Every structure is written in structure tokens, then in C-alpha cells.
């Protein structure tokens, strides 16, 4: 029997305590003086200790504790957005306890808020489970909407409706990719996940190098990044350290995925667009590149990874070494990993030269560092130790031919979150400013091609004249009614923009890029023309 939306929300809530309890207790223990349990019980009179004297947490108590002790214990590592999530989930918990109903939209939002909160505290596995539950809700909703639409179509069959002679609907000219046509695209929503690609659990359009490049438009900025990486990894120039910084959705992770696949086992000759780019410049990519991927939201600072045998990996430098060279490489930094003390640049330089060529990709670094701000005793090492590692890492990469470090830093305050995030970002920027090279995201017109390639397949050769016919009709409409449309719509340049964006109207892109795109935490959906 299919689950109800309320059941999905209930099951999502049941996943939260296992991840929230250690996070909440560690923050309270670190931030409150004296016996934190006593202070919590005093402020939350409805909370009672369990049989062994420990605090008896449930979801409501966890949310209440985070809200009541926000300034003292949680403000340093989480931002306003996360506090809003905590309060929202408290309301969701109350709706559940009063047996209220949840619409598809209610359930999807609740599960997404749970997922976002879990990502903020680096509970990656729980966040992934919640994401899958949310995806199921979205697919169910889409299926029901599709059924309703089919019923309406059946009811309209008796009514004759004809389009303008000679104009073919866009759906008969260009075909959406399979995930878009079936509604599974909602699972991805342009949210490329580097950690999932590295682990092999991402959707095929991101995981498979051939599919990824077939749908990727090589912008001027991305092309320069890939060319520089090819030079660096082959020992023929290129910048050693690259910092990617744009607002949320600016293409940082997508650019990292392009680098990841370029340095992978799939021959460059099989990667659409990249093959021509490198061939034109006479460049190649060496074989056997060792790749390391560190994503701050996929692993928490309290997590200890268990590798082969009885090896335990506690720190980012331990995980970096393990990914580059397995047990032998990890042995070089094992003592530093066990003590939580960052290795020096000389040791890292020796490591990189032994395992070159090396590609190191670090995403969501601030999200990881803010979790250890003013917290002692974590397996990951202290905040200062991790910042010392950043400095040693950049210096070692700079001195190691064939080694490239690419790291993403948030430009949006929404992504930074709290005092800890602000301090981490400031310290990272200070370190990177000495060695990093600049990177430019996509331009406005390049965004047309990026979105079009992601949503739609290439137009078949025998359908181009239908597309051109539609574009001519638009151009004719704008020319004959110039006073009814913005200035410039009748120009040849606008005709070119229509062609680049088809079947989406370029005006929508322009609004997204200039107006909505400048707003933090904005979202938009694309619509089709013709």
C-alpha cells in the first residue's frame, strides 16, 4: 500500500534525533558553563531526564533547545536560515502531533527543510535519506498531475483547436531529455553533488562523463578553467590553486565536476566539446591522475571513517592522503591524523610529488569548518589546526608540479551561516588571496545555452526549419508591433538571442540573470515559447 504524505513526514522526523542529539549536546556542552543538563532542564520545564539521568530528547525538545539556547550555543555555527528551519520544523512536529493533514507541497517542503538542516550540521547520510523521501513525494505528485492532465485532454478531444498555419509546437521540434520528460528531473534540479558523483550514487547525467559533457556547454570561463587544469596536470604551466567563488547556483560545483571527469579514466576524446577544445590548443591530459574529493556537507567533523583493516581516518588531511594513494599515502600522515595536528607543507609536498599528477577538489569547505568553530575535542582536529592545514596545503600544491587544487568558497551570506562561518570564510580568503587565480562564471548569453543543453536534446536536422519558422514569426510580430514591445526586440541581435534560447524565451533568461539572479535565496522556473 502506498504511504500517505503524512507518513512520509512522520518517518522523516523519526530520522532526525540520531543526527541532532550528538550535535545539540556537543554544542551545549561546549558553550554553557557548568552542568549544561541542569540549565536545559531549567529552561525547558516539560523536558524530563530519562532513567539513567540523561536528558530525554525527542524532536520537539531538540527544536526547543536549539531555539532557546540559540545565542549561547548555536549562533556561532548556524545562520538565520538554519534558525528559521528549526522553528519551521517545530511547527511541523506540532502538526504531526495534532494529526493534521499534509498536502504534497506541505510534505515536500517539510522533508526539504529537514534535509537542509541535516546538511547544515554535516549529517550527510541522513540528508540523503530525506532527499530520497522528498523525491518520492515529488514523483508521486507529478504522476498524479499527469493523470489529471490526461483526463482533461480526453475531455477536450471533442473541441477542435488549430494552431497558426505553419507553426509547429516546440515539443514537436525539440525533445526534452528523458529525466525532464518523465519528471525525474525534479530529483536533480540542477543540484550537482560532487560527493555523490565521487561515490557513484549520483544520477547518470552527472555521474557518467560522456552524458555530463554532452549536456554541458563550455562557457568561456569553464573553458579557461579546463585548459589551465590540463596544462597544470601535464606539467606544462597553469595555475596551481584556483578558487571558485560565486553566489549559490553560480556554477562552482558544475565546474568541479567538469574537472573531475576530465581527470578521470574516460579518454578525453570521448568527452563532447572537451576533445575539440584541447585538440585545438594542442593539449592533452595525462593518464592515471589521482583524484581527491572533499565535500564539507557529506561528512561531519565528528565522523570517523573506517578504511581497510583497522585504520581510522579522522581528519581532512587523512582523508586527502587516503584518496590520493591509499594505505601507503595515509601512512605518511597517520600520526598527524591521530593527533589532530595538521601536517606541514614539506610533508604534503613530498606526498604530492610521490602521487602526482594529482587533482584535489574541495567543496563546501566553510560548511565543514563552521562546525568546529570554538569546539574542542573533535576527531577532526581544532578550528585552528584545520586552518593551518589550509595554509600548508596551498603552499605545498604551489611547490608541487602536476598538482592542482580547486576549492569553492561561498559568496552568498546565506551559504556562510553564523559567526563560525564568517570567521572561516575570512580566514580562507586571506590564505587563498596569496596564491589563487581568478575564475569567471558564465556570462548572460552563455546561460541560454547552459540551460537549453541541460533540458533539451539537440534539434534534429530535419526540424531546424520549423524552429526557424517560429523565430521568424516572433521577429515579424515584434517588428510589426514595435510600440507594444521593449526597444530592441525587432533588432537582428534579438533574433539571435531567440535562436540561442529556443524553445525558452530569452526574456525569461534575462530576468533570471539580472533581476531575480541578484537576489539571494531566489528561485525560478523556466517556461517555453512557441
Please tell me whether residues 300 and 401 are part of one structural domain. Answer: yes
Please tell me whether residues 386 and 266 are part of one structural domain. Answer: yes
Please tell me whether residues 375 and 235 are part of one structural domain. Answer: yes
Question: DSSP letter string over 144-164?
Answer: HHHHHHHHHHHHHTTS---PP
Is 15 inside a domain boundary? yes
φ and ψ of 154, to 5 deg: -60, -40
Please tell me whether residues 395 and 297 are part of one structural domain. Answer: yes
Determine the Cα–Cα distance for residues 258 and 273; give it in Å rounded to an integer: 11
pLDDT for 516 equals 47
pLDDT for 159 equals 38
Cα 84–Cα 86–Cα 92 angle in degrees, nearest 5: 105
pLDDT for 528 equals 34
* Residue carrying C-alpha cell 527544536: 63
Is 189 inside a domain boundary? no
Is 118 inside a domain boundary? yes
The DSSP code for 281 is T
Determine the Cα–Cα distance for residues 58 and 16; give it in Å rounded to an integer: 9
pLDDT for 51 equals 62
Is 148 inside a domain boundary? no
pLDDT for 511 equals 65
Determine the Cα–Cα distance for residues 513 and 407; give it in Å rounded to an integer: 24
Please tell me whether residues 409 and 479 are part of one structural domain. Answer: no
Q: Are 301 and 121 in contact (CB under 8 A)?
A: no
Cα 205 from chain centroid? Answer: 15
Determine the Cα–Cα distance for residues 273 and 449; give it in Å rounded to an integer: 13
Indicate the Cα dihedral angle 226, 231, 235, 240, nearest 10°: -60
pLDDT for 413 equals 60
**147 CB-near residues (< 8 Å, 6+ apart):** none
Please tell me whether residues 98 and 11 are part of one structural domain. Answer: yes
Q: How many folded domains does the chain comprise?
A: 3
Is 183 inside a domain boundary? no
Give per-residue pLDDT as tens, 219-256: 888 899 999 999 999 998 889 999 886 544 457 888 89
Please tell me whether residues 170 and 285 are part of one structural domain. Answer: no
3-class secondary structure, 362: strand
Please tell me whether residues 473 and 390 are part of one structural domain. Answer: no
Please tell me whether residues 105 and 238 are part of one structural domain. Answer: no
The DSSP code for 357 is S
Cell numbers standing for residue 15: 530520522
- Tell me which of 394, 417, 432 is where a domain ends: 432
| CATH code at position 223 | 3.40.50
pLDDT for 258 equals 94
Q: Are 527 and 505 in contact (CB under 8 A)?
A: yes
Q: Which domain holds residue 78?
A: 5-136
Q: How many CA atoms lie within 13 A of 80 on its CB side?
A: 3
* Residue carrying C-alpha cell 599515502: 329
Is 186 inside a domain boundary? no
Determine the Cα–Cα distance for residues 499 and 506; give it in Å rounded to an integer: 9
Cα 319–Cα 323–Cα 327 angle in degrees, nearest 5: 85
Reduced 3-state DSSP string for 228-268: HHHHHHCCCCCCCEEEEEECCCCCHHHHHHHHHHHCCCCCH
Cell numbers standing for residue 202: 549520483
pLDDT for 100 equals 86
Please tell me whether residues 223 and 291 are part of one structural domain. Answer: yes
Q: Are 174 and 457 in contact (CB under 8 A)?
A: yes
Cα 215–Cα 220–Cα 225 angle in degrees, nearest 5: 85
Give the helix, strand, coil percentages of the chain, each rounded to 5. Answer: 60, 5, 35
Please tell me whether residues 204 and 76 are part of one structural domain. Answer: no
Nearest alpha carbon to residue 82 among 315, 287, 297: 297
Q: Are 118 and 12 in contact (CB under 8 A)?
A: no
The DSSP code for 442 is -
Please tell me whether residues 460 and 426 are part of one structural domain. Answer: no
A 10 A CB-CB count for 525 gives 6
Is 440 inside a domain boundary? no
> Structure pTM?
0.65
Residue numbers in the chain where pLDDT is lower than 50: 1, 156-164, 186-190, 247-249, 436, 516-530
Q: Going by DSSP bridges, is the β-strand pair 241-246/403-410 parallel, antiparallel, or unpaired?
A: parallel
3-class secondary structure, 218: coil
Is 151 inside a domain boundary? no
Amino acid at each position: 500500500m502506498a504511504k500517505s504524505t503524512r507518513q512520509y513526514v512522520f518517518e522523516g522526523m523519526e530520522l532526525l534525533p540520531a543526527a541532532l542529539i550528538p550535535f545539540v549536546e556537543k554544542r551545549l556542552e561546549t558553550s554553557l558553563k557548568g552542568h549544561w543538563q541542569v540549565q536545559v532542564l531549567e529552561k525547558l520545564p516539560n523536558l524530563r531526564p530519562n532513567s539513567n539521568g540523561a536528558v530525554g530528547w525527542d524532536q520537539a525538545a531538540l527544536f526547543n533547545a536549539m531555539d532557546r539556547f540559540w545565542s549561547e550555543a548555536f549562533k556561532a555555527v548556524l545562520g538565520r536560515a538554519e534558525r528559521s528551519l528549526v522553528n519551521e520544523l517545530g511547527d511541523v512536529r506540532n502538526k504531526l502531533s495534532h494529526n493534521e493533514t499534509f498536502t504534497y507541497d506541505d510534505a515536500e517542503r517539510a522533508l526539504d527543510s529537514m534535509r537542509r538542516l541535516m546538511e547544515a550540521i554535516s549529517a550527510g547520510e541522513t540528508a540523503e535519506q530525506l532527499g530520497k523521501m522528498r523525491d518520492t513525494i515529488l514523483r508521486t505528485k507529478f504522476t498524479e498531475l499527469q493523470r489529471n492532465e490526461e483526463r482533461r485532454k480526453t475531455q477536450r478531444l471533442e473541441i477542435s483547436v488549430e494552431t497558426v498555419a505553419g507553426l509547429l509546437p516546440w515539443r514537436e521540434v525539440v525533445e526534452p531529455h528523458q529525466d525532464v520528460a518523465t519528471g525525474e528531473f525534479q530529483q536533480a534540479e540542477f543540484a550537482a553533488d560532487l560527493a555523490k558523483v565521487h561515490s557513484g550514487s549520483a544520477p547518470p547525467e552527472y555521474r557518467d562523463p560522456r552524458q555530463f559533457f554532452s549536456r554541458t556547454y563550455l562557457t568561456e570561463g569553464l573553458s579557461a578553467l579546463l585548459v589551465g587544469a590540463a596544462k597544470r596536470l601535464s606539467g606544462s604551466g597553469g595555475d596551481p590553486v584556483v578558487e571558485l567563488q560565486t553566489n549559490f547556483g553560480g556554477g562552482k560545483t558544475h565546474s568541479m565536476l567538469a574537472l573531475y571527469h576530465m581527470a578521470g579514466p574516460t579518454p578525453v576524446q570521448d568527452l563532447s566539446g572537451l576533445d575539440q577544445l584541447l585538440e585545438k590548443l594542442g593539449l592533452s591530459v595525462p593518464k592515471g591522475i589521482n583524484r581527491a574529493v572533499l565535500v564539507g556537507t557529506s561528512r561531519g567533523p565528528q565522523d570517523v571513517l573506517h578504511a581497510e583493516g583497522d585504520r581510522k581516518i579522522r581528519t581532512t588531511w587523512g582523508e586527502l592522503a587516503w584518496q590520493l594513494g591509499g594505505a601507503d599515502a595515509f601512512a605518511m600522515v597517520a600520526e598527524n591524523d591521530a593527533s589532530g595536528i595538521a601536517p606541514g607543507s614539506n610533508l604534503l609536498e613530498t606526498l604530492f610529488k610521490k602521487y602526482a599528477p594529482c587533482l584535489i577538489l574541495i567543496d563546501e569547505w566553510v560548511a565543514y569548518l563552521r562546525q568546529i568553530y570554538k569546539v574542542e575535542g573533535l576527531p577532526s582536529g581544532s578550528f585552528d589546526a584545520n586552518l593551518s592545514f589550509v595554509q600548508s596545503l596551498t603552499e605545498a600544491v604551489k611547490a608541487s608540479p602536476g598538482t592542482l587544487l580547486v576549492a569553492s568558497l561561498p559568496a552568498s551570506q546565506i551559504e556562510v551561516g553564523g559567526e563560525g562561518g564568517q570567521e572561516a570564510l575570512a580566514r580562507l580568503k586571506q590564505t587563498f588571496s596569496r596564491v589563487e587565480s581568478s575564475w569567471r562564471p558564465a556570462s548572460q548569453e552563455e546561460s541560454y545555452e547552459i540551460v537549453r543543453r541541460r533540458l533539451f536534446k539537440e534539434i534534429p536536422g530535419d526540424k531546424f526549419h520549423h524552429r526557424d519558422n517560429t523565430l521568424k514569426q516572433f521577429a515579424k510580430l515584434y517588428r510589426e508591433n514595435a510600440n507594444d514591445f521593449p526597444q530592441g526586440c525587432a533588432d537582428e541581435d534579438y533574433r539571435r538571442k531567440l535562436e540561442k534560447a529556443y524553445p525558452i524565451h530569452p526574456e525569461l533568461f534575462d530576468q533570471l540573470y539580472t533581476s531575480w539572479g541578484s537576489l539571494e535565496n531566489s528561485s525560478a522556473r523556466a517556461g517555453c515559447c512557441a
